[in-house]
Amino acid sequence: MSENGDVYHLEMPKIGIIKGVLAKDIELVGGKVVNVRTCARPYSNVYSVAQLRVIRDVIENYGSGKVHLSPRHNLEIPEVRQKRLKDALRELYIAGLFPGGAGTSVRNIFTCPDWCSRSIRPVQELGEMISANFGDRDMHNKVTISFAGCANSCSRPHNCDIGIIAAGKVSVADEKCPDDCSGCIDACRFRAMDNKDGRISINERCTYCCRCVDACQESILAIEETGFRVLAGGKEGSTVKFGQECASFADDFEVLELIERILSRYEKKGGLRPGFVKKKERLGEVIERLGLEGFLA
């Protein structure tokens, strides 16, 4: 109730009609308890202290005192007493946490933290934009999207349906390296650095990982411009696939456009898996069947 006497009513979505929520999100175990999968809306893999306190209260008051953090940073609360399910969902809902994280839709957007010292450029803000535009979008099969702030790729973008990896173009100052310096050449795993008479040059094998910049002790190398590599068609599971590169150096809006293009092509060109009556292809299976150029055409 507000100071002027107005009464506020919370209209909580009913179980089963929230977009993207399937039986897997509220899973019946026996006849008395359920397992609840929940995540933030809009999608985020960063939870506030207030949200964590609510989760603690829910698992203590309605569950068995346990919670599992999934690989995509969704929260799985097991053994919630079914007769208290509505109360548990209400508290989660007020804290901005909804049933979700499963189903044939665009799943929780995954990003690495912006405060990592290896980050070439921050990715959480762009991840939030992607989440706002594409999160929970109905698809033929599940679609995972991951962002990595550097080539270390801790967020596993190579094995996601769509992976975005920060990249940097390196500039070389017009100075000679000391005779005994080979730090950048030793650091480059792709043999993309050449040293001729103390002058450093970068060849076509460069993958924009910027390891050479970190290794340079003479400030001859610097990151001139940053962008993103975009991969499509990766997946984990029993048949692992690595995504194919769709763009080698895209800016923020090009990433948005390319993700929309990939999802739209998948909606139009995806079909049933061979031998299945209902189950449809994953994105990588469609790309494998058509070829990347045919898929994007």
Tokens at 153, concatenated:
């790729």
Residue 47's region, left for phi above 0, alpha for psi from -120 to 50, else beta, is beta
Q: Which pTM value belongs to this model?
A: 0.82
CATH of domain 26-99: 3.30.70.3340
Q: In the structure, what pLDDT confidence band is assigned to residue 23 with cuts at 50, 70 and 90?
A: very low
Q: In the structure, what pLDDT confidence band is assigned to residue 21 with cuts at 50, 70 and 90?
A: very low
Task: Map out the domains of the chain as residue ranges.
Answer: 26-99, 110-296
State residue 264's pLDDT score: 97
Query: Residue 94, SS3?
Result: helix
State residue 7's pLDDT score: 57
* Average pLDDT over every residue of 104-129: 88
> What's the pLDDT tens digit per position in 57-103?
999 999 888 898 888 888 888 888 878 888 888 899 899 888 876 77
Q: Is the dihedral of CA 244, 247, 251, 254 positive or negative?
A: negative
pLDDT of 252 > 50? The answer is yes
> Phi then psi for 183, rounded to 5 degrees?
-60, -45
pLDDT of 235 > 90? The answer is yes
CATH of domain 110-296: 3.30.413.10
Of residues 89 and 286, the one with the higher pLDDT is 286
